[in-house]
């Protein structure tokens, strides 16, 4: 599936088909010299200069000059059409960003909050760079790609062995997109590592007094040092991938040329090709193919990676435009939960301060994608703390949490909030319509999905009482009970795109039957589910149970723990005695 950045670009270019077709037509004219150069030079030499008819030779060269004139005219004619593509693209992106920012500003708590003008300015600057990068790519990459194809066709027409001359080029063209993807990813890692070290230094400076009071300077320096090593590692990795360009230029551009130099004189001597054809082939290789390979792997690859980064940021920033705007009505569907996330907890140790006893010490654990895990343990043992660590809301002292292999602290806020939803005990419902509350985490949710989720969670009667989806909630504290607020928030999270849902006693105010219905709805939802259980029934419903204890943790299916762990059996007995469920 295309990335959000590519989808954003596509939606911005969707209305520009006509100018794109005109540009493609002009591109054919622009390619004329690249296609004809070698063949024309060969004919000029063989039938003109070497045949003692310089006039004929000059006439052929004149044809080449005419083709270059045609090319220059076509290049000039392309500009208005380029403008017809990139200007609407810019307008489209700006409109989406401003709409998204305005919606965020008014939607958050159901009342206007003020527009974050600095964010809009920064983002519109990125829109400008997308505009100029797309224009630059259309100007440079398009004729280059055509040059490569035209020169390859010209070489083929000169009856030179395709295997020797074109195989290296095909190899480079096949590897190039892959290297581009790796380079983009590594450049992004550099940016993230840079941001992390800046954040670490900033945090340490801001907390300088606490650091001094707790004698934690060593720890701060170690954290900064680790972030510094990460910057060095990611920068080196990006530089290595960029260096791969030299190998691509050598293989795609110089190897064919070298082959021609070695084999050319023999081919001429053996009568396989004429002198003119040898010169023509050299012209194709040095005049078109080599510069094109150099430019594609250099400038063009830099443009593409920059464009990718800018588009990703813009897609993230405009991700809250709801379905009811023009763009989303034109075909952007709600983002579904795309399957579960595998969670890896690796020797996690956490304490609330440098001198406090750790709440969790050396906890390791694997949760499979799509698994339903219940977490149980005595009050105050650290279940909520673990939930916060899994969601990346707290930083461990040592060890790491990885979501699908990505350290949770390396996820930017937006991606983390899209991947993970942590639902606490206190449900937050804001003043506004029922619809706005339910779709807060997924403004693109389609009405049938909203209705179905309300039904699944057993919230139909409540929504009806509130006046349906358009019903206004004016004062959530008095209008709704704690359980009703929890129910609305559970519908909201169920509708969200989160692939990992952590319910931290999120249904504690619901009656046991309603909580069972809600939990069953979450268990049936595609995604990983972690339930901090406060009732025996929640543990019994899960695939596995993690029992957190002062001296470590135990993990296994409910029945196995009941049979094997006295502490677990005792906890269950206490719950059974207390609530009967």
Ligand X SMILES: Nc1ncnc2c1ncn2[C@@H]1O[C@H](COP(=O)(O)OP(=O)(O)OP(=O)(O)O)[C@@H](O)[C@H]1O
- Minimum CB–partner distance for residue 345 and ligand X (Å): 15
Q: Which is closer to ligand X, CB of 321 or CB of 373? A: 373
- Minimum CB–partner distance for residue 375 and ligand X (Å): 8
Token pair in block for residue 567: 């502490």
User: Do 478 and 400 contact (CB within 8 A), yes or no?
Assistant: no
Residues that bind ligand X (CB under 6 A): 352, 359, 377, 379-385
- Minimum CB–partner distance for residue 576 and ligand X (Å): 17
Residue-by-residue DSSP string for 251-311 = IIIIHHHHHHHHHHHHHHHTTSS-HHHHHHHHHIIIIIIHHHHHHIIIIIHHHHHHHHHHH
- Minimum CB–partner distance for residue 367 and ligand X (Å): 18
- What is the spatial distance between Cα 531 and Cα 387, in angstroms, rounded to a whole number? 9
- Minimum CB–partner distance for residue 537 and ligand X (Å): 16
- Minimum CB–partner distance for residue 380 and ligand X (Å): 4
Q: Which is closer to ligand X, CB of 170 or CB of 214? A: 214
Q: Which is closer to ligand X, CB of 243 or CB of 577? A: 577
- What is the spatial distance between Cα 522 and Cα 429, in angstroms, rounded to a whole number? 20
User: Do 495 and 445 contact (CB within 8 A), yes or no?
Assistant: yes
- Minimum CB–partner distance for residue 549 and ligand X (Å): 11
Q: Which is closer to ligand X, CB of 45 or CB of 545? A: 545
Q: Which is closer to ligand X, CB of 3 or CB of 398? A: 398
User: Do 528 and 542 contact (CB within 8 A), yes or no?
Assistant: no
- Burial pattern 447-463, b for ≥16 Cβ within 10 A else e, equals eebbeebbebbbbeebb
Q: Which is closer to ligand X, CB of 260 or CB of 533? A: 533
| Burial class of residue 275 in the structure, from the number of CB atoms within 10 Å of its CB (0-12 exposed, 13-18 middle, 19+ buried) | middle
What lies within 8 Å, CB to CB, of 332 at 6+ separation is 7, 11, 323, 444
User: Do 292 and 31 contact (CB within 8 A), yes or no?
Assistant: no
Q: Which is closer to ligand X, CB of 39 or CB of 389? A: 389
- Minimum CB–partner distance for residue 23 and ligand X (Å): 59
SS (H, E, C) 367-411: ECCCCEEEEEECCCCCHHHHHHHHCCCCCCCEEEEEECCEEHHHC
Q: Which is closer to ligand X, CB of 386 or CB of 561? A: 386
Q: Which is closer to ligand X, CB of 101 or CB of 384? A: 384
The two beta strands, 544-549 and 372-377, are: parallel
- Minimum CB–partner distance for residue 450 and ligand X (Å): 31
């Amino acid at each position: 599936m295309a990335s959000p950045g590519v989808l954003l670009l596509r939606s911005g270019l969707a209305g520009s088909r006509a100018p794109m077709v005109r540009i493609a037509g002009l591109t054919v004219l622009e390619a004329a010299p690249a296609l004809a150069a070698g063949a024309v030079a060969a004919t000029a030499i063989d039938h003109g200069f070497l045949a003692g008819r310089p006039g004929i030779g000059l006439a052929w060269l004149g044809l080449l000059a005419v083709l270059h004139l045609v090319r220059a005219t076509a290049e000039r004619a392309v500009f208005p059409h380029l403008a017809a593509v990139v200007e609407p693209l810019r307008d489209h992106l700006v409109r989406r960003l401003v709409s998204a920012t305005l919606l965020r500003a008014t939607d958050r708590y159901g009342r206007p909050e003020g527009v974050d003008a600095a964010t809009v300015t920064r983002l519109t600057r990125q829109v400008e760079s997308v505009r100029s990068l797309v224009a630059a790519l259309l100007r440079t990459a398009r004729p280059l790609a055509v040059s490569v194809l035209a020169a390859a066709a010209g070489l083929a027409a000169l009856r030179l062995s395709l295997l020797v001359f074109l195989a290296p080029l095909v190899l480079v063209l096949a590897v190039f997109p892959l290297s581009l993807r790796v380079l983009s990813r590594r450049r992004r890692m550099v940016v993230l590592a840079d941001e992390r070290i800046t954040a670490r230094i900033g945090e340490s400076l801001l907390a300088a007094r606490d650091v001094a009071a707790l004698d934690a300077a060593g720890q701060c320096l170690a954290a900064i040092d680790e972030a510094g090593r990460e910057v060095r590692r990611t920068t080196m990795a990006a530089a290595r991938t960029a260096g791969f360009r030299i190998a691509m230029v050598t293989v795609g551009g110089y190897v064919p040329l070298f082959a021609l130099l070695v084999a050319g004189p023999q081919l001429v001597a053996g009568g396989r090709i004429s002198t003119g054809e040898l010169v023509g082939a050299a012209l194709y290789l040095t005049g078109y193919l080599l510069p094109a390979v150099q430019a594609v792997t250099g400038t063009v690859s830099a443009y593409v990676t920059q464009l990718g980064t800018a588009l990703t940021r813009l897609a993230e920033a405009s991700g809250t435009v709801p379905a009811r705007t023009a763009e989303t009505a034109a075909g952007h569907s709600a983002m579904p939960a795309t399957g579960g996330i595998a969670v890896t907890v690796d020797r996690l140790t956490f304490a609330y301060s440098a001198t406090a006893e750790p709440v969790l010490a050396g906890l390791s654990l694997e949760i499979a994608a799509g698994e339903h895990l219940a977490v149980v343990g005595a009050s105050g043992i650290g279940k909520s703390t673990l939930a916060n660590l899994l969601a990346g809301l707290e930083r461990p002292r040592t060890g790491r949490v990885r979501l699908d292999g990505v350290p949770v602290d390396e996820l930017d806020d937006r991606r983390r909030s899209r991947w993970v939803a942590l639902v606490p005990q206190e449900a937050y419902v804001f003043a506004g319509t029922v619809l706005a509350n339910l779709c807060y985490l997924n403004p693109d949710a389609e009405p049938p999905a909203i209705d179905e989720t309300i039904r699944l969670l057993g919230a139909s009667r409540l929504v009806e009482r509130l006046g349906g989806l358009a019903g206004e909630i004016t004062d959530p504290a008095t209008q709704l009970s704690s359980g009703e607020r929890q129910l609305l928030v559970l519908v909201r999270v169920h509708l969200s795109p989160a692939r990992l849902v952590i319910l931290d006693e999120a249904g504690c105010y619901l009656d046991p039957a309603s909580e069972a219905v809600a939990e069953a709805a979450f268990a049936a939802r595609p995604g990983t589910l972690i339930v901090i259980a406060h009732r025996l029934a929640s543990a019994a419903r899960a695939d596995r149970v993690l029992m957190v204890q002062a001296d470590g943790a135990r993990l296994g299916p409910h029945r196995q723990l009941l049979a094997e762990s006295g502490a677990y059996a005792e906890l269950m007995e206490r719950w059974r005695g207390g609530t009967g469920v």
